[in-house]
Structure 1
Amino acid sequence: MGQDLKCLRLPGGSDTAGTQPGAVPHCAATPKSVGIVWGLLILNTLGSAGAKTVIPLPRSLIQMVTMAALVTAFSLALVLNVRLRIRASAFVFLLTLLLVPSVISSANLGVGYGALFRCTRLALFVGTLWLLSRWWDGGLTFVRHHIRIYFAVLASVAAGLVISPGTAMPEYYGGRLVGALWPLTPPQIGQYAAVIIGLTVLLVLGRQTTRASAAMVIVPSLVLLAMTHTRTATLGLLISLALAIGSLVLTSAAARRFFAWAVLCAVVAAVAFSSALQAWYLRGQSQENMSNLTGRAKVWDALLAAPRTTGEQALGMGLGDKSFGGLPIDNSWLAVYHEQGLIGVAIVAAIIIALGGVALLRPPSLPRACAIFLISYCAISSYTEAGLGDASPYLLHLALAASLLAAPAATPPHAAPEAPQRHSPRRARDGR
């Protein structure tokens, strides 16, 4: 992707897609080290529990690596922004507010010291985002960091598949693709693939990268997404990408052509491959299993029926591992309710509403379309995936959306150099 994914930003207010005549790209002054900080944040959110790997990795070792990545990210961001220059951000402010119910509920030592450790992790995560907000200017720099780093993660998944196919597609996951080098679950891989596919498609439509460079990202990511059999990621990709492209159709001929071809291909695929698509979607599960969302509904009902005090309803039980009764909750809203209470649910809802509202009020542009894609994807995935209330890839996706919706930093206009005075030969000769 090299030259095509260089830091490009276009002047002229919101026309970052370069649709206005005379818009000339120029490079934003964002240090390359900021990309390293972003990569360390992504490493921290990869998780420590998942599939069995080719070389067994103790969970304590993985936790040490991910926590060290977060501490290093915060330290490096502090060095880069030693004067603590930050930009106002409703998103990061609301995340800071989310720390309040998290800390209060986790301060009850009856839930264990792990809850306080997770609060510390969330505080460092939010602090790093505050430090990075200095470089949030509505440009596409962080989008490129996002794509490159998650593509590197997917490359490790593909390498594991080549090295040990049996480990990468185990029977205990129904033959779905997992991480054989780093313990990644099918939903994680599907999420990463879906997000970078959507963002890369939007970059192509905005003429911010070439089709050849985009194909190098999209094609292998689509293959990995299909091998994970992840329904949430697939539906989230299709719906969110449709919403994002729909926000561009009035101003972009490329978006209109892509949307028309996508609808045509979807109709043809639905007719010609309906049975194959249905088999892929069901994954060999019965209708009863599908109706209760592969067992999720039973956990949700038990969580809602559990007795709670007024304080536990308001502030939650403290940050945990997003499980109830030893089973994963797999719903962001119920996980937040369980751990941070109704106050936490209200704050998370305010985050989604604030980002969505700002995106709708912005004029059409490529950064706005990318933000709409990310916000929609996180909102859709929140129904069957947890993560909106703690340091997670979903919060990083929303942070990227916040950076895309930030107003460009005001820069003083450069004064044009004065033209040298011209003296007539006669005046120069006469000395007058």
Structure 2
Amino acid sequence: MTTSRMPRIVGTAWGLLILNTLGSAGAKTIVPLPRSLIQMVTMGALVAAFTLALAVNPRLRIRPSAFVFLLTLLLVVSVISSASLESGFGALFRCARLGLFVTTLWLLSRWWDGGLTFARHHIRMYFAVLGSVAAGLAVSPGAAMPELYGGRLVGALWPLTPPQIGQYAAVIIGLTVLLVLGRRTDRGSAALVVVPSLLLLALTHTRTATLGLLAGLVLAIGSLVLTSAAARRFFAWAVGCAAVAAVGFNAALQAWFLRGQSQENFTSLTGRAKVWNALLAAPRTTSEQWFGAGLGDKSFGGLPIDNSWLAVYHEQGLAGVALVAAVFIVLGGVALLRPPSLQRACAIFLISYCAIASYTEAGLGDASPYLLHLAVAASLLAAPAGAAPRSTSEAPSEAPSEAPSTPEAPARRIPRWAQRSEVS
């Protein structure tokens, strides 16, 4: 089956999926927004994304995808773990949301052909989100950098936390840099995206996003070094700049990285380690150990877990952890087996970023931006659909037809007078 030309409505559906995963909890906005209203908008965006995907793909044509198949199995595990209602009826609601999310990905998988289209949609939509953050900073700097968050940048128009803003900025910076190296966009357009995104990333003081960006770019550009002169030049330039920054701005970088925290607070990952130790030490039944306590709000004892693996273990058990690990193994294995290309490099960046961020951020076990990042990686690694074989009636006229299997007829003897006339 050939992959048809992607309609614009597919990009709209992808943007609605991104809107759904922005969340409803965060900083106080300039204009107070009731959480119920925000949840209505985000859930309405998911329903609209599913409706558009179904409208543009009414025949339910999908492409085989190990990534979405593993997410489907994760949904089954989530339903099993939530059926006991240990986490309340909200767990079943979250399962329904995850089911609609995965179904929409199945419908959109028809257009996963190894191209860069979904990566470009990803950049545009998250850049629009960052545009709202920058607008909030311009309108009310005090609300955008409140003391409650230690002066870090938050969403003043839409409730976004510093880690969210840092994540979105890091992802579009990395993808845009790779597009420039692959000569799929000009430097002027890339600068319009990268420069303001870098500024917003710096204002968030988000260490996870910064480390994920740097490590992801190193791995992605490293996969292009042997085949791209531009990648080699950029890699050498980046190493030189990093060396100069490490020597000349060591104190400033260290102060930015520590964010004014004490050594004890830094080593405990801002208190995360205490929550992790308590979660691992909590008694569990055999069912809870294998299937978890059901989908919740990614917290334990009223405190955020802030670790994807422990959050999945708590809510979906060891079965969920195994499925999430399988997602990374499958995507990473496919990326390593693909020949060097820009699409492969972008996928490596997204996979490595999500793997690094999973240590201090939750979201791999539920509908989240991290699953959308990995979905873009899956679309980049999908094999291009080959042309459908032509039928016999559509065979090109210039193709030679096979000779009949009958014995070859003897050549007709030409009379001598005809031979003489041909010579004359």
TM-score by length of 2: 0.91
Amino acid at match of 2:275: V
Could you tell me how far apart the structure 1 residues matched to 2:290 and 2:35 are? 32
State the SS of the aligned residue for 1:109: coil
Instruction: State how 1:361-380 maps to structure 2 within 5 Å.
Output: 361-380=337-356
Could you tell me how far apart the structure 1 residues matched to 2:86 and 2:302 are? 17
Count of paired positions: 393
2:89 pairs, out of 83, 92, 113, with: 113
Q: Which residue of 1 aligns with 2:98?
A: 122
Amino acid at match of 2:213: L
Give RMSD over aligned pairs.
1.4
- State yes or no: 1:328 paired with 2:308: no
Amino acid at match of 1:339: E
1:314 pairs, out of 280, 287, 290, with: 290
Q: Which residue of 1 aligns with 2:213?
A: 237
- State yes or no: 1:148 paired with 2:130: no
Could you tell me how far apart the structure 2 residues matched to 1:156 and 1:328 are? 26
Q: Which residue of 2 aligns with 1:6?
A: none
Could you tell me how far apart the structure 2 residues matched to 1:276 and 1:150 are? 29
Q: Which residue of 2 aligns with 1:79?
A: 55
CA contact (8 A) 2:14 2:121 kept: yes
Amino acid at match of 1:40: L
State the SS of the aligned residue for 1:386: coil
* CA deviations over 1:13-40 (Å, ceiling 9, x no partner): xxxxxxxxxxxxxx97111110000000
Percent sequence identity is 82
Q: Displacement, 1:108?
A: 1.4
1:43 pairs, out of 3, 7, 19, with: 19
Distance 1:200 1:416, change over 3 A: farther
Could you tell me how far apart the structure 2 residues matched to 1:348 and 1:55 are? 38
Q: Is there any run of 5+ residues in structure 2 with no aligned partner, and where?
A: 399-424
State the SS of the aligned residue for 1:111: coil
Q: Displacement, 1:418?
A: 6.7
Instruction: State how 1:190-201 maps to structure 2 within 5 Å.
Output: 190-201=166-177
When structure 1 is superposed on structure 2, of 102-111 and 376-385 the one drifting more is 102-111
- State yes or no: 1:352 paired with 2:328: yes
Q: Displacement, 1:174?
A: 0.1
Q: Which residue of 1 aligns with 2:8?
A: 32
* CA deviations over 1:308-343 (Å, ceiling 9, x no partner): 000000000000000000100000000000000000
State the SS of the aligned residue for 2:30: coil
Spell out structure 1 runs of 4+ moving beyond 6 A: 413-419
Distance 1:207 1:413, change over 3 A: farther
Larger radius of gyration: 2
Q: Displacement, 1:361?
A: 0.4
Q: Displacement, 1:98?
A: 0.2
Could you tell me how far apart the structure 2 residues matched to 1:381 and 1:147 are? 19
Amino acid at match of 1:320: G
Could you tell me how far apart the structure 2 residues matched to 1:322 and 1:398 are? 20
Amino acid at match of 1:315: F
Q: Displacement, 1:110?
A: 3.5
- State yes or no: 1:341 paired with 2:334: no
Amino acid at match of 2:96: T
Amino acid at match of 2:310: L
2:153 pairs, out of 169, 172, 177, with: 177
Could you tell me how far apart the structure 1 residues matched to 2:277 and 2:156 are? 34
Could you tell me how far apart the structure 2 residues matched to 1:58 and 1:113 are? 22
Could you tell me how far apart the structure 1 residues matched to 2:395 and 2:233 are? 42
Amino acid at match of 2:70: L
- State yes or no: 1:188 paired with 2:164: yes
Amino acid at match of 1:347: L
Q: Which residue of 1 aligns with 2:224?
A: 248
